[in-house]
Amino acid sequence: MSAATVTRNTDLSSALQVEIGTSDATAATGPLVVTIEAGQSSVTFDVTGVDDSIVDGDQTAVITASLADYQAGSDSVVVVDDDIAAITLVIAEDSISEAGGVSVATVSRNTLATSPLTIALANSDTSEITIPENVTIPVGASNATFTINAVDDSDYDGNQNVVITASVGGYVSGVDSLQVIDDDPPPPNPEILFVDDDQGAAYERFYTAALDANSLQYDSWQVSSQGLPGTAELSDYDVVVWNTGFNYSATDAGVSAAEQTALAGYLDGGGGLFLVGQDILYNGVSASFQSDYLKLASFTSDVRNLSQYVGVSGSSISDGMNLTFSLPSDFSADWSDSLAPAVGAEGVFYRNSVNSAAQPFNTIGYGGEDFRVVFMAAPFEGISSSAGDPNNQAFVMDRVIEFLMPPITATGDVVVSAPSSSGVTTEAGGAVDFTVVLTEAPVSDVSFSVESSDTSEGTVDLSQLTFTSSNWNEAQTVTVTGVDDSVVDGSVDYSVVLGVAVTSDSNYSGLDPADVSLSNADDDIATLSLDLGAASVSEGSTLVGVVSRNTDTGSPLTVNLVSGDPNEASVSGTVTIASGSTSAQFVITGVEDSFVDGDQQVLISVDSSGYTGASGAVTVVDTTTPALSLSLADAAISESGGVTTGTVTRNSSGDAVELTIVSSDVTEAKVNTLTIAAGQTSGTFTVTAQGDDLVDGDQAVTISVDATGYLGDSGSVTVTDDEVASLTISIPSSDIDEGSSTTGTITRNTGTSGALVVNLASSDAGEAAVSSSVTIPDGQSSVAFTISGVADDFVDGSQTATITAAATGFESGTGSVTVLDVDSPTLTLEIAATEVAEDGSVTATVARNTGAGSDLTVTLASNDSGEAAVPQEVVIPSGALSASFNVAGQIDGEVDGTQTVIVTASVDGYVDGSDSIDVTDIDSEVNDLFYFSRKNNGSVAGVLFQNEDIVAYNGSEFRVFFDGTPWASGLTLDAFYIQDDGGILMSYTGAGTITGTSLSFDDSDIVRFSPVTQTWSLYFDGSDVGFSSNGEDVDSIAFAPDGRLVVSTSGSSSVNGVSSRDEDMIVFNQTSLGANTAGSFEMYFDGSDVGLSTSSSEDVDAVSITSDGTIYMSTTGNFSVVGTSGRDEDAFVFDPISLGAGTSGTFRPELYFDGSAYGFGNDIGGLHVVDLSTMGSGAAAAVPGLGGAAPDGLMVIMAIEPVVPMEILGPMTFAQWQSFGNSDLVLAPISEAPEIVGQNNKADEMSEDELHVMCLDQALSGWGI
C-alpha cells in the first residue's frame, strides 16, 4: 500500500470531485473518486497492490486523476512481486490396491506459462509404486498430469504409505502421498520354536502347556526323531525355547559342540533363546559359548537343595516373584547349579533366598541389542504348574517370552522439502517456503515444533505442525520471512528447527526431522551514526558524543572527527571503536575564548573509509563575562618625576566605554582619564609619580580600572624613594671595666611604620660583646642595647672595640667603647688525669695569663714527693702561653693505699696555680709465685677449682686466679701462658666454642683472653701451619727468652720444618699470628737427648721458661731422669747447656713443686712460673723451689733507707723468708741510699760501694717484714 496525493491549482472555495483510474487493475487499485475539500488544495488517498499469487515480477501501474475542465494528472507506482515460485502436487486418490491399482497426479506451477517447465519426480518407495522420472508442463499451460501404478510384491508387509515429491530448481517442491493397500495374507509361521532335547523323556508337556496357556503360536522340534536343528532352521523364529532335561549320563546330554555352534549362529542373527537344563554345565560348554552367549562369569555345578525360586528386585522377568519348588514324580533328581552373571547380564532368580554369595543365582538373563538369552540351570519342571498359583510355569513362560521377543521397529517417517528461493531470505522481507508431510498414517496425532534458530535473521509463520490420521498425507507449508537488522553483517546462516515428534504412536515417537538450513541476505550499507546528546556545551565545559557503526564488530574501526570551528568547539582527530563494540564515545570541548561573542553553532562530522559519514550541530554557549584587563608598562617609577603608561583592554567590541581609573595613594602616584573608543578593544593612560621629602621607602600603589557592565581589574606600581635611609649609634659611657656593661642606642632616620631588625657586631668580641641583633619596634625610631666588657682573665691592658649596627636598606652606624683591663698576672695548673699508679706518670700543664713575649720560668713543687715527683721547674717559652711536664708516681714499697698529692706552680709576681692527683698503691703483701691448671676438677687447701680454671700459689695459700666456667664450661684447659699485659693464652684438650662468642677452635689452636676488655680472640691457628686436631693437641705453651713461642704436643707431630715426639718442645718462627697464622718450626728441646723416655708417661704436657732459659716442666705420668724423679702432679727443673737437636743440660735434684705434699693425685695440666729474674724491687719477687731444702746461705741486697728488701737470690721459700726476724739480720750502714736502687735493678748492676752485701751462714728463723 502506498499514499498518493492529488493537488489542484485553482480556487479553493469549493469542494472538487476527482476521478481516479489505474492502467492495470491486476497490479494496483485505488478509489474511483476522491474529494478535495473546500479550502484544501489537495487530498491523499491509498493505492493498494493486488496479490495475484503469480510469480510475475514487479509490475508498473499508472494512476490517473481526471476531471472535466482540468488537465489530468498521473503518476506511476511499482508493485513489488512478493510471490515465491512453487510447484503444487495433488494425487487424485488417497489409496490404491497393490493388485493393479492406478491413480493420476497433477503438478501445477504459479509462474508465467511463457516457457515449458520440466519437473523431476521422486518416489519414497519404488517397491510399492512406479512413476515417471519427470513430467513437463508445456508452454501456455500451468499444469500437467502423470500416472501412478501400484506394484504387487507378493509379500505380506501391510499397507504402505508412499510419498511423491515434485521438484525443480528455483521452486518450492510439491509433495503428496497415497497408501498402497496390501493384498497378501499374513505368513503362516509362528514366532516361537520349542526344541525338545530331553533324551526322549516326556518333560515337553510342561513347556507346551505353559506356551498354550498364554495362547502363543509355536512349532515343536523333537531332537530324538528330527535330529539337531541348524542355524538356518532356528533363524526362522524370533524366540527358541530349548530344554535339555536332566540326564547328564546320556551320550547326547547337555548342549553338544554342534548344538553350541547352531545356537551361536542363531544368536549372532539377533535371536532370543530360553535355554533350560541342569546337565548343561555339568557336561560342559566351551569357554567362549559360556562367556559370549550364556553371559556366564562363573558357576558351581550340582549345588542342589532347591526349595524355592526368588525373583530379583527390578528384574523385568522376576520382580516380585516367589516360586515354590517341587519336582514331578517322573523327574529323577535336583542337580541344579549356582550362577554368577558376566558384565552386561543380570540375575533373574535367586537360589532359595536373596543372598550375597559369589554365585547367588540359578537363572540369569541378557537383553542386548545384538541378541537375548535367558539361561535356567535348574528344573523349569519344578515350578508349580497349578493354574491357581499366580507364580506358575505359564506366568514365568509369558514373562520370559516377552523379554526375549525382538523390539518393534518403527517405520514411520517425515518428508521435508527443499526450501524455495534456494533457501535465501532477505532483510528486505523476502521469504522462503518449505513443506512437511508424513509417509504413513499415524494411529494418533503427531506434532512437530517449528522455530527459528536466530529470530534476529528470520521468523517462522507458525510454531507447530500437527498431523492426524486424516491429514497425514497433506503437505503443510512453513513460511520463513527475513528480518532487517540494520547491521552490515553480510549473509547470515541460520536454520528452522523442527522438533522431535510428540505422539503416543510408537511408529513416530522420537522421530527427529532434519532442520532446514537457510541464509538471510544483507541489504544494509556501511554507515556511521552520530549522537550528540543535548547538542549543547558551555565554553570551558565538555560534551560526550557517541559515534556508532552498523557493521561487523570483529575488528577495531578508526573514525575521523572534524569540528567546523575548532576555535569554538574542539575534538580529537580520531576515535577508535574497539573490537567487539558497535560504538565509541568522544569528547567535544567548548573552547574558552575569553571573548564575549554570543552562542555559536558548530558542525561536528564523523567519517571513515568505506562508510557513509554523519554530522550534527552543537551549540557552544558563551559564558564569558565582559571584563577589563590592566597592564602597566613599568613595575617601578622614581618619585623624582617618574612616569609610566597603563593599557586597558576589554574582551568585547562595540560602543565606546568610559573608564573609571583610581590610584590607591595619590600622594605617591596620580592617573588621568580614559575612554575606549567605539569599535576599539583597548586604550592607554598615564601614571605620574609624586615626590616627597620623607625617607619612607619604596611605596606600592594600586591602580584600579572599572566601567559599567564590566568586571574591573587592577595593577601595582612601586614608587621608589629617593632619600637615603641610615642608622646611628650613640654610647654615652664609652669606658667600661672587664666584667661590667654599658648601654648604647640605635636610631633610624626613616618612618617608624613597621619593626626593623638591626644586626649588631663588635670588632673585638673577646673584649666587648653585643647581641647578634636588636629590633626597633613598630612605631619607634630607636632602641637601646647592652655592651658587655668581657672578663678574659688575661693581662692585656685597655682595649678599644668598634660596635656596628646594620640593616637591609640602611647605611650602617658605628660607635666605639674602651674596655679597661682588671686582670692580675696568674698561673693556672691542670693535671690531665685524676689519678696515677705508683709506677706510672701523667702529663700536667701550667699556663700564664700574661703576654708571651719572653720565656717564663715556673717553679714546681709536690707536697709529697715520696708519692708523686715533679721537675723542680718548667719554662714557658717565648711565644707560648703554657708548658707541659710529667707528674711521676713513686714506688714506695709500702702498702699504704691511695695518696692525694698537691702540685703547685709559682713565679714571683704571679698568683700561684695548683692541682691535685691521687696516687694509687701498687704494693701488695704477697706476690704470686706460680700458676697451674689441672685436667680434673678438684680442691687444694680448701680452694675448689674446675678443669677450666687457673689456680695461683703465692707460697702460703692457693686461690683461683682465672675462673673459666662462664666461658669454657665443660672444656678442659691443658696449656696456658700469662702475658705481661695480663692477657692469658690458652689451649684446650678438644674442639669447642667460647660461650657467648662466635669464636670456635680445636685442640691444636691457642686462644687469648683479655681481662681488661673481657674479649676473646684466636692467637694461634694450628691448622694454618700443619697441626691436625686430636693427634697434635697443643698441651703446653711457653716463650723462649728471645720471645718466640714454644709448644709441645700430646703426640708426635710433623709440621713445617721439624718432626717431634710428645717428650719434645718445638719453637715457632712466626711471620704472622691470629686467623692467618704463618711461620716455620724448629726443635727447641729434644727430650730423648736428656733421658726422657718416648713412652707416653714421660710426655711433657706443662712447660714454663724463664728469661734466663731455665725450663720448668711436668709430664703426663711418672718420670725418672738423671738426678730426679717424680709423678704427674710434680714439677721439675731443667738447666740447659745446649738446646735444639742436640739438647744437653742437667735436671735439678729437688722438685720445684711436690704435688703430693698438697694432696694432688692427678696430672698438672698447665704451668706458669713467675719469672724471678724480671721481677722488680719490693716485697718478695722471686721464690726458690718449693720442694727443695733450704740453702746453706742467703744473699740479701738491701738499701739502707728505707729498710726494704730489694732482691732475694737463692733457693728459699717465701714462707722461709718470712720466718726470719730482725734480730737475726745485721746491716752495715752506708752513707746514703744509692739512686740506682730502684724498681727493676738487679744485684749484678750495683757496685760494692753502693750496696752492702751480707752473707748469713746459718738458717735465719725470725725476720719480720
Is residue 791 scored above 70 in pLDDT?
A: yes
The per-residue pLDDT for range 70-114, each reduced to its tens digit, is 999 999 999 888 788 899 999 999 899 988 899 999 999 999 889
Please check whether residues 979 and 1120 belong to one and the same domain: yes
Q: Which long-range contacts (CB under 8 A, 24 or more apart) does 1241-1250 make?
A: 1241/1177, 1241/1206, 1242/1173, 1242/1207, 1243/1195, 1243/1197, 1243/1207, 1243/1209, 1246/1197
Query: Which three cell numbers, joined as nine digits, stand for 251?
Result: 551320550
- Which of 935, 927, 1061, 1038 has its CA nearest to residue 988? 935
The reported pLDDT for the residue numbered 652 is 86
- Report strand pairing: 102-109 vs 87-91: antiparallel
The reported pLDDT for the residue numbered 693 is 67
Please check whether residues 1145 and 1198 belong to one and the same domain: no
The reported pLDDT for the residue numbered 1261 is 34
CATH code of residue 586: 2.60.40.10
The 3-state DSSP class for residue 734 equals coil
Let me know if residue 879 belongs to a domain: yes
Query: Is residue 718 within 8 Å of 635, Cβ to Cβ?
Result: yes
Q: Which residues pair with 1113 in a beta bridge?
A: 1103, 1132
Let me know if residue 925 belongs to a domain: no
Q: Would residue 689 be called left, alpha or beta, if left means φ above 0 and alpha means ψ between -120 and 50 degrees? A: beta
pLDDT over 70 percentage in the chain: 91
Is residue 1242 scored above 50 in pLDDT?
A: no
First CA to last CA distance, the chain: 153
CATH code of residue 778: 2.60.40.2030
The reported pLDDT for the residue numbered 356 is 67
Let me know if residue 1189 belongs to a domain: no
The per-residue pLDDT for range 953-987, each reduced to its tens digit, is 887 888 888 999 989 988 999 899 999 888 999 99
pLDDT bracket for residue 938 (50, 70, 90): confident
d(CA 1059, CA 183): 132
> What would the mean pLDDT of 468-481 be, rounded to a whole number?
94
The per-residue pLDDT for range 635-675, each reduced to its tens digit, is 999 988 899 999 999 988 888 999 999 999 999 899 999 99
Let me know if residue 507 belongs to a domain: yes
pLDDT bracket for residue 1210 (50, 70, 90): very low
Tell me the residue range of the domain where 687 lies. Answer: 628-720
d(CA 196, CA 228): 10
Distances from the Cα of 596 to the Cα of 650, 677, 706, 734, 822, angstroms: 10, 17, 17, 74, 85
DSSP 580-638: T-SEEEEEEEE----S----EEEEEEEE-TTSB-EEEEEEEE--PPPBEEEEES-SEEE
- Find how far residue 1117's CA is from the centre of its chain: 69
- Which of 164, 182, 200 lies at the terminal end of a domain, its last residue? 182
pLDDT bracket for residue 410 (50, 70, 90): confident
Please check whether residues 1113 and 1160 belong to one and the same domain: yes
Query: Is residue 721 within 8 Å of 668, Cβ to Cβ?
Result: no
Q: What is the mean pLDDT of the chain?
A: 86
Please check whether residues 347 and 443 belong to one and the same domain: no
Is residue 1231 scored above 60 in pLDDT?
A: no
Please check whether residues 399 and 430 belong to one and the same domain: no
d(CA 1008, CA 978): 10
The reported pLDDT for the residue numbered 1172 is 57
d(CA 92, CA 101): 12
Query: Which three cell numbers, joined as nine digits, stand for 555?
Result: 575488528
The per-residue pLDDT for range 863-897, each reduced to its tens digit, is 998 899 999 999 999 999 999 999 998 877 677 88
955 or 1128, higher pLDDT: 1128
Residues making up the chain, counted from first to last: 1265
d(CA 666, CA 881): 69
The per-residue pLDDT for range 293-315, each reduced to its tens digit, is 999 999 998 888 888 889 999 99
Please check whether residues 1040 and 945 belong to one and the same domain: yes
The reported pLDDT for the residue numbered 355 is 66
- Which of 334, 369, 404 lies at the terminal end of a domain, its last residue? 404
The reported pLDDT for the residue numbered 893 is 63
Burial of 1058-1096, coded b for 16+ CB within 10 Å and e otherwise, reads: bebbbbbbbbbeeeebeeebebebbbbbbbebbebbeee
Instruction: Quickly tell me which residue has 693581662 as its cell.
Output: 795
The reported pLDDT for the residue numbered 614 is 93
> What would the mean pLDDT of 1190-1198 be, rounded to a whole number?
31
The reported pLDDT for the residue numbered 352 is 79
The reported pLDDT for the residue numbered 1175 is 43
Please check whether residues 978 and 1074 belong to one and the same domain: yes
- Which of 1173, 1224, 1172, 1223 has its CA nearest to residue 1194? 1224
Let me know if residue 1188 belongs to a domain: no
Let me know if residue 1179 belongs to a domain: no
- Which of 878, 861, 961 has its CA nearest to residue 913? 861
Please check whether residues 1097 and 1048 belong to one and the same domain: yes
The reported pLDDT for the residue numbered 1174 is 52
Is residue 1251 scored above 60 in pLDDT?
A: no
The 3-state DSSP class for residue 32 equals coil
Please check whether residues 305 and 350 belong to one and the same domain: yes
Query: Is residue 984 within 8 Å of 1004, Cβ to Cβ?
Result: no
Phi and psi, residue 402, nearest 5°: -60, -40
The reported pLDDT for the residue numbered 485 is 85
Count Cβ atoms below 10 Å from residue 966 Cβ, excluding itself.
11
Query: Is residue 633 within 8 Å of 646, Cβ to Cβ?
Result: yes
Is residue 154 scored above 80 in pLDDT?
A: no
Query: Which three cell numbers, joined as nine digits, stand for 84?
Result: 515465491
DSSP 80-120: ------BEEEEES-SEEETTT-EEEEEEEE-B--SS-EEEE
Let me know if residue 736 belongs to a domain: yes
The per-residue pLDDT for range 547-585, each reduced to its tens digit, is 999 988 999 999 999 999 999 999 999 999 999 999 999
Number of domains the chain is built from: 10
Query: Is residue 805 within 8 Å of 729, Cβ to Cβ?
Result: yes
The structure's pTM equals 0.34
d(CA 849, CA 795): 6
d(CA 322, CA 350): 10
Please check whether residues 1068 and 974 belong to one and the same domain: yes
Distances from the Cα of 1009 to the Cα of 95, 461, 998, 1102, 1170, angstroms: 128, 109, 14, 19, 19
The reported pLDDT for the residue numbered 278 is 84
Q: Of 379-388, 713-722, 1066-1075, 1155-1164, which range is least confident?
A: 1155-1164
Extended beta strands in 870-942, E state: 873-876, 882-889, 899-906, 913-920, 930-934, 938-940
Tell how many helices (H) and how many strands (E) occur in the chain.
9, 99
Please check whether residues 802 and 677 belong to one and the same domain: no
CA Rg value for the chain: 70
Let me know if residue 545 belongs to a domain: yes
The reported pLDDT for the residue numbered 797 is 81
- Report strand pairing: 174-181 vs 95-97: parallel
Please check whether residues 104 and 125 belong to one and the same domain: yes
Query: Which three cell numbers, joined as nine digits, stand for 1237?
Result: 736502687
Is residue 1208 scored above 60 in pLDDT?
A: no
59 or 926, higher pLDDT: 59
**How is the chain split among helix, strand and coil, in percent rounded to 5?**
5, 45, 50
- Which of 678, 696, 720 lies at the terminal end of a domain, its last residue? 720
Q: Of 323-332, 489-498, 1182-1191, which range is least confident?
A: 1182-1191
Is residue 219 scored above 70 in pLDDT?
A: yes
